[in-house]
Structure 1
Amino acid sequence: MQFSEYWLRSFVDPQLDSESLGHLLTMAGLEVEEAAPAAPKFSGVVVARIVEAEKHPNADKLKVCKVDVGAGELLQIVCGAPNAAVGLTVPCATVGALLPGNFSIEAAKLRGVESSGMLCSGRELGFSDDHSGLLVLPVDAKVGADLRDYLGLDDTLYTIKLTPNRADCLSLAGVAREVAAITGNPLSLPAVEPVTPVSDVRRGVLLEAPDACPRYCGRVLRGVNAKAATPEWMKQRLARSGVRSISALVDVTNYVMLELGQPLHVFDDAKLSGPIHVRYPHAGEELLLLNGQTIMPDADVLVIADDSKPLALAGIMGGEESGVTLDSTEIFLESAFFAPVAIAGRARRYGFGSDASHRFERGVDFELPRLAMERATRLILDICGGEAGPVEEALDEAHLPTRPAVVLRPARVRRLLGVQLSDAQMKALLERVHLGVQEQGDCLLVSPPSFRFDISIEEDLVEELARLHGYDNIPAVPPQGSLMMLEQSESKRSTWDVCHLLAARGYQEVVNFSFVDEAWERDFCANPDPIRLANPIASQMGVMRTSLIPGLALVLATNRKRQQARVRVFEIGRCFERKADGEPVQGFHQPVRVAALAAGGALPEQWGAADRGVDFYDIKGDLEALFAPGVLTFERLSDPALHPGRAASVLFNGRHVGVIGEVHPIWVQTYELGSAPIVFEIELDALLAAQLPVSTEISRMPAVARDLALVVSQEVSAARVLEALREVAAPIVREIALFDVYHGKGIDPDKKSLAFRMLMQDTQRTLEDAEVEAAIAALVQHAEGTLGARLRGSGE
């Protein structure tokens, strides 16, 4: 909201300069985003009157003017403005004046004629875009007066940013109330006296939707002159509030809205038939709005109508066909209260907004419509003339908002703020902002006024006291308290540790949105029914993700477009799935997962190693390192996001905890990922539960290594054989590792040879050959019995 400092000071005038006043507003919760001068700096410009104007002897488009600047003698000034004429009152920059852009005025000869100054347009003075002619001032302007003083150009234009709960400050009166309350200066709002009706013409009002509009005031004014000029003081205040002057009738409604905060609307009464109906639209009704847009209002959009047609979108915008024109002589003035829930979001639904909807959807004082009606009526009569009829008011008190009293505990205020305010001080501060306060034992009973929609609980009053007392006046006291050192497990990881582990292996962390494109869910997750957002921020962010992999794929695609060949990224985030017993939201499961993606070279380009693309086993090694010393097993898997033959399920302690594999070729091509990246996605809880390595005694005894080659069926995986061997390994077997897989001569085509190296050692003694052979025999016997394996070279 933008407004003029001069206008504000006409209501309350604290002894503060412009900068201090802006700081005070900000600290009061009315954040000043900008404080700009009403006009750029210039000097030496005065009010002047053209006494003579003759054609230049040597130029067709120039005039030689004699100008009175109040100095006792006339100045001769050559002027090229087409509207320069005798009797015109205009700005004059005298010799020595300095105009915007550091332009200095000096005496000069123009086409052989002396010129001592310059007559100015608004554009040349920097506060108007009009360059069609001289800036015409009122006839009664005092000749010789400094133009800056006469036009109030040393004004400051404040732009404040209000939170949605402070709709009461969307007006000069509201801002002035706050300034008066904080500074203690007297508040002087415009006196509004009821206008005595001199006509008995009225138009009835029917409230057919009292829940959306419980109060509606209307008044007929006859004999108005819509062509009357808007007073300069009103045009100036509107302009400095960012509102363009349109016509006297419209300007009055905008002025009262800015002054008091009550949006108003003017209908051409001659275009109305029957009483005013405040209702919801009938099926098939259309309305041409003032912005030229034709709409068919939805069933929940309130309209103002007469007996034959809708006239306006209630609280949003008027209709073109019922609007006033310069030929209107009989008008119907509307002032109403519309419930915020009936207005909120309706204007955005049709792709526009308005000052009225901005205020009504946040909450307008429900006691204000009649006062604003009287204020606007008086201004219209003073400017446009005419006769006012009686105010027709329709009221449904049962649907008006209530302002129940709120109990405030002073002791709690003192404890929360850390400021020892007395009960009397609290009462005085609250009464400054027009809150009714009564003592009730150890508590205060506070009644909010009708314009404060934001006060409903005790915490609101605590915040109000902090604001009124002044945030700068609240001492910054360091918190004190006894801290207990909490035990931290040395056997489990934290999420922070996981991030460090992945970063140490060359991955960079990314953070993606949890809401994604529906196409990702369909392609990568084969999810035809994702969890949809009721109000997405963008069309491509309409559903909740069930996997982190699509987001990482998008990161890769973005890097590919920026010529980044090697990408290694990871993300820790929440996914969202439908589940009847889900927590914390019923019906939705929200697991936290860890996902990583690697693409490009296995190593950064260097002289010490040949170029090699990253492959499945590089990422498998990274994943196993995360769980070390825990042991993972892998099983073949079919996943919509992954290559059919290059994907595996990740199992930890026999439980499925995630997937690993190469991205499916279709999605590599569809999403322009270049070479196929390798990804994994696992449950964070499983990783955090993995035990950390523990220290053990290093044996000083010699180790014994034995190689064991087993022939198994092609369908038996190496992981299954490893698992079987580890199940029966003797305590002296410290390590079993696969080091060779062989297919070919000497091995049946439907079988393969797996060679394992056994490392055996004891911490207290040297192993004997007999116990080594017994341990190997037990392993071979178990493999033969459970897997159908045979020792290679032993024959059939």
Structure 2
Amino acid sequence: MRIPVSWLVQQLELTEDYRDLSAQQVADAFVRVGMEVEEVSELGPVTGRVVVGRVAEIEELTEFKKPIRFCTVEIGEPEDPDDAEPETTQVICGATNFVEGDLVVVALPGAVLPGGFAISERKTYGRVSRGMICSARELGLGDEHAGILVLPTGEEAAPGDDAIELLGLTDSVIELSLTPDRGYCFSLRGLARELACALDVRLIDPAAIDVPVAEGESVPVTVTDPQACPRFVVRRVTGVDPTAPTPWWIRRRLMLAGIRSISLAVDITNYVMLELGQPMHAYDTGRLRGGLTIRRAEPGEKLVTLDDVERALDPDDILVCDESGPIGLAGVMGGASTEVRAESTDIVLEAAIWDPASIARAVRRHKLPSEASKRFERVVDPALPPAALERAARLLREYGEGSIHPGRTDVGNPTLPEPVVMPMDLPDRVAGIRYQRGVTVSRLQQIGCQVDIGTAEDGTPVVTAVPPSWRADLNQPADLVEEVLRLQGYETIPSVLPAAPAGSGLTAAQRRRRRVSRSLAEHGYVEVLPFPFVSGAVWDAFGLAPDDARRRTVKVLNPLEAERAELATTLLPGLLEAVSRNVSRGARDLSLFHIGQVVLPRAEQVPMPEVGVADRPSDADIATLKAALPNQPVHVAVVLTGNRQPPGWWGPGEPASWADAVQAARLVADAAGVELTVEKGDLPPWHPGRCARLSVGGFPVGHAGELHPKVVEALGLPQRTCAMELDLDLLPLVERRPVPSVSPYPPVLLDVALVVDAEVPAAELTRTLRGGGGDLLEDLSLFDVFTGEQIGEGKRSLAYSLRFRAPDRTLTVEEATAARDTAVAAAAERHGAALRG
């Protein structure tokens, strides 16, 4: 909502403290009462001589491809009092929307327009142009740039008058972002009321006008669906001068609010909409056929709207009809058949209240958002139509020389807000502060409530507030509390953190999750938050079998994206999409991780029960609710592509491989305090020959390795992309708070190289050596794998480094060697290993 600050200030009875109220002070006041200010923009700045001019002569220059005019413009009284000729200037102009005698705005040499546009005398098109005739956009008044700004005749302006003062170019425009529950703020009336509350000054209500009693009907009206149209009011104005221009002050306010001036009748309806918040529509009475009927559309009906588009109507659409059929799409756009035109002198003004949900659906169905529908969607004051019509009719009478028809048709009985009873001290208890006596009553009266003070049965004081007609959102005591706290200022509410009870803090699972996240980040992985919804097509790209459990997903009823309507059963789709996006933007070496929930529906899903909100659900209801929810375990996953170690002066880079994905799983296991077993695995979307199954305590918890080439190709990923995913909730919770045990005695380091069949997994050989080494074996690591003729076909050599240490003494070489020989003997017995010569 855009509105000039000067217009807002005119609706307030400002005290001495606010006589020189600035635009920034207005913005700060709005923020204090909980409204979001998008922008405060000052018009201009415009400096130098910018004056009103009268076009005295126009010479058409026809030798150019586009229209060019050489204009003589009167810009002031004669410099010499004895001279009868006024001061003039000559200007080159390409606009054609003005004629001789029109009043225009002229920027003379030396003036500077908004954007730093300096005006100077210059020669162009074979003439010397001494100034510029300005458009509204060039003056900063709006976006209209189809032609220059022509001031209406009859304005108290003469050639040579200061246009900066006349046009109000020192004004400011404030733009606010309004929430849907603040529909009344889509008007000067509503915003001025909020500003009056913020500044504690009196509001001059523009809707507080005397509405005379109707003397009969204006136009017969029939409403067939009172729910669709709770109120429909029309007023007729005759004898309107169709050539009467819109007054400049109305045009200016419309332009600054972002609305284009069209004609006097249309401009007045738009102006009243901005002023009071009541959208209106004008009909040419001569084009109406009989009375008006408000009804829902019938199948097959069509309507040509004001934009000359024929629209197929839906049975849910609300229509305004006469005897010829539909003449308007209610609350959205009028019909072309009854449009007010340049020759219209007899006008019927309509102000109605429409069902907000129906208007919202019609706007989306026909893709026709408008200023009127924006207000109807957010609820319009049902008591406002008669006052709005009276205001518009009087403006037409004043500026269009029309006559107001004595009749007025008012059909409908809209529902007004019900009284709300609230304990007097409820705002104090909610805010945790004792407000001064009378604050609650005064704040509720400020927003328009009628307030009575009484006593409840238990003797406690209560407030009975009847909300104003424009506040349909005030339905319960909590709504009244919010208004009192909002207007008193949220900053007055004390902010006190509650004391943490003893024994509280992070759970063991939360601490483990943080350790895992920190460990991966410390080893170069970057955490991302991928999209949690997936498309069913991703399972085909993964090569999953039709009966794979990961294909059984939970469907989202109202997805953000229609093609992604399933909750993910694995973290890999989102991570791989992040890889693809980053690679497309130039990244090459990626190490990403994510810790999050997946959704695993049960094989036999329990239907979700319907539980009321009047009372607390029973234990049986809660148990049924939990049984109906799908499993949502926490997984951790990583993806790698490109170089794990970058190249540099130290040597070539080290590309990421399946071993890095396995190592990421080991990092997770180490942070969780569990021992991970790595075995050969086979699970899509991993490559069957480069996939490891991850187990803890003999129970599988995840997989790691290189993705299948077909998956990489289908998803557009770099070659040799690797991934790991592990179910974090399957890992046993281990409280890792041990005191480190450090032996003061030196270790004994020994190496051993064993020749085994190539099919023997290195992980199994490692476990055998670890078990055979006994308690003295502190650590072992595989540091070399060798194949070749020297060890025979089908064989490979695995070289290990073993570290032995005793906790209570200096270990001898003989003891370490004996432990090593025991480990080698166990490997020979179980895997046929032999020492490499």
Structure-1-length-normalised TM-score: 0.82
Partner of residue 524 from structure 2, selected from 499, 506, 512: 506
SS in 1 for 2:636: strand
Q: What's the counterpart of residue 693 of structure 2?
A: 649
Q: What's the counterpart of residue 17 of structure 1?
A: 21
CA contact (8 A) 1:574 1:590 kept: yes
1:618-670 Cα deviation digits (max 9, x unpaired): 32123123213532224544433222332233221222322212112112123
Q: What's the counterpart of residue 598 of structure 2?
A: 575
1:251-330 superposed matches below 5 A: 251-273=267-289, 275-306=291-322, 309-330=325-346
Q: What's the counterpart of residue 4 of structure 2?
A: 4
Partner of residue 191 from structure 2, selected from 167, 175, 180: 175
Partner of residue 601 from structure 1, selected from 643, 667, 677: 643
The one-letter amino acid of 2:341's match is: T
Compared CA separation, residues 637 and 537, structure 1 to 2 (3 A): same
The one-letter amino acid of 1:177's match is: R
Compared CA separation, residues 64 and 659, structure 1 to 2 (3 A): closer
Q: What's the counterpart of residue 455 of structure 1?
A: 474
1:699-753 Cα deviation digits (max 9, x unpaired): 8598798989898996x86656777898999767767878999999999999999
1:20-69 Cα deviation digits (max 9, x unpaired): 2232223223333223334542344455668x87999xx99565869527
Compared CA separation, residues 524 and 298, structure 1 to 2 (3 A): farther
* Counterpart-to-counterpart distance in 1, 2:694 and 2:3: 64
Deviation at 1:258, TM superposition (A): 0.7
Gaps (5+ residues) in structure 1? none
CA contact (8 A) 2:421 2:462 kept: no
Deviation at 1:259, TM superposition (A): 1.0
* Counterpart-to-counterpart distance in 2, 1:23 and 1:491: 45
Q: What's the counterpart of residue 384 of structure 2?
A: 368
The one-letter amino acid of 1:11's match is: Q
Q: Tell whether 2:442 aligns with 1:437.
A: no
Pairwise CA RMSD of aligned residues? 4.9
CA contact (8 A) 1:38 1:240 kept: no
Q: What's the counterpart of residue 523 of structure 1?
A: 541
CA contact (8 A) 2:356 2:376 kept: yes
Deviation at 1:550, TM superposition (A): 2.1
* Counterpart-to-counterpart distance in 2, 1:726 and 1:96: 91
CA contact (8 A) 1:530 1:544 kept: yes
SS in 2 for 1:279: strand
Q: Tell whether 2:440 aligns with 1:395.
A: no
1:315-373 Cα deviation digits (max 9, x unpaired): 22223334333344554433222232223354234334111121111221122223223
* Counterpart-to-counterpart distance in 1, 2:748 and 2:107: 103
CA contact (8 A) 1:732 1:760 kept: yes
Q: Percent identity, aligned pairs only?
A: 30
The one-letter amino acid of 1:557's match is: S
Deviates more, 1:519-528 or 1:437-446: 519-528
1:228-267 superposed matches below 5 A: 228-267=244-283
* Counterpart-to-counterpart distance in 2, 1:693 and 1:127: 69
SS in 2 for 1:321: helix
Size of the aligned set, in residue pairs, is: 778
Compared CA separation, residues 96 and 737, structure 1 to 2 (3 A): closer
SS in 2 for 1:234: helix
Q: What's the counterpart of residue 88 of structure 2?
A: 77
Compared CA separation, residues 212 and 661, structure 1 to 2 (3 A): farther
Compared CA separation, residues 285 and 432, structure 1 to 2 (3 A): same
Deviation at 1:501, TM superposition (A): 0.7
CA contact (8 A) 2:51 2:75 kept: no
Deviation at 1:243, TM superposition (A): 0.9
SS in 2 for 1:577: coil
Deviation at 1:254, TM superposition (A): 1.0
Compared CA separation, residues 521 and 374, structure 1 to 2 (3 A): farther
Q: What's the counterpart of residue 483 of structure 2?
A: 464
The one-letter amino acid of 2:475's match is: S
The one-letter amino acid of 1:27's match is: R
Deviation at 1:493, TM superposition (A): 4.5
Deviates more, 1:187-196 or 1:662-671: 187-196
* Counterpart-to-counterpart distance in 2, 1:231 and 1:453: 35
Deviation at 1:502, TM superposition (A): 0.7
Q: What's the counterpart of residue 626 of structure 1?
A: 668
Q: What's the counterpart of residue 545 of structure 1?
A: 568
CA contact (8 A) 2:451 2:464 kept: yes
1:146-157 superposed matches below 5 A: 146-157=162-173
* Counterpart-to-counterpart distance in 1, 2:668 and 2:99: 88
Q: What's the counterpart of residue 621 of structure 2?
A: none
CA contact (8 A) 1:545 1:575 kept: yes
1:119-161 Cα deviation digits (max 9, x unpaired): 8544675657669678455345254653333333333222222
Partner of residue 141 from structure 1, selected from 156, 160, 169: 156
CA contact (8 A) 2:50 2:105 kept: yes
Partner of residue 161 from structure 1, selected from 177, 195, 203: 177
Deviates more, 1:36-45 or 1:24-33: 36-45
CA contact (8 A) 1:198 1:387 kept: no
CA contact (8 A) 2:183 2:379 kept: yes
Structure-2-length-normalised TM-score: 0.78
Q: What's the counterpart of residue 205 of structure 1?
A: 222
Deviation at 1:223, TM superposition (A): 5.2
Deviation at 1:228, TM superposition (A): 3.8
Compared CA separation, residues 509 and 478, structure 1 to 2 (3 A): same
Q: What's the counterpart of residue 68 of structure 1?
A: 77
Deviation at 1:174, TM superposition (A): 0.9
CA contact (8 A) 1:98 1:105 kept: no
CA contact (8 A) 1:728 1:779 kept: yes
1:350-400 Cα deviation digits (max 9, x unpaired): 334111121111221122223223333333344262553633333255xx3
Gaps (5+ residues) in structure 2? 64-68, 455-459, 545-549, 609-624
CA contact (8 A) 1:637 1:647 kept: yes
CA contact (8 A) 1:53 1:66 kept: no
Deviation at 1:281, TM superposition (A): 2.6
Deviation at 1:3, TM superposition (A): 1.4
Compared CA separation, residues 296 and 7, structure 1 to 2 (3 A): same
CA contact (8 A) 2:754 2:833 kept: yes
Compared CA separation, residues 508 and 112, structure 1 to 2 (3 A): closer
Q: What's the counterpart of residue 497 of structure 1?
A: 515
Compared CA separation, residues 537 and 80, structure 1 to 2 (3 A): same
Q: What's the counterpart of residue 617 of structure 1?
A: 659
* Counterpart-to-counterpart distance in 2, 1:793 and 1:153: 95
The one-letter amino acid of 1:18's match is: S
* Counterpart-to-counterpart distance in 2, 1:705 and 1:91: 96
Compared CA separation, residues 26 and 72, structure 1 to 2 (3 A): farther
CA contact (8 A) 1:55 1:64 kept: no
Deviates more, 1:33-42 or 1:247-256: 33-42
Deviates more, 1:244-253 or 1:287-296: 287-296
CA contact (8 A) 2:804 2:816 kept: no
Deviates more, 1:281-290 or 1:355-364: 281-290
CA contact (8 A) 1:761 1:767 kept: no
SS in 2 for 1:304: strand
Compared CA separation, residues 696 and 490, structure 1 to 2 (3 A): farther
SS in 2 for 1:344: helix
Compared CA separation, residues 96 and 774, structure 1 to 2 (3 A): closer
Q: What's the counterpart of residue 27 of structure 1?
A: 32
The one-letter amino acid of 1:514's match is: P
Deviation at 1:770, TM superposition (A): 12
The one-letter amino acid of 2:298's match is: H
CA contact (8 A) 1:197 1:388 kept: no
Deviation at 1:242, TM superposition (A): 1.3
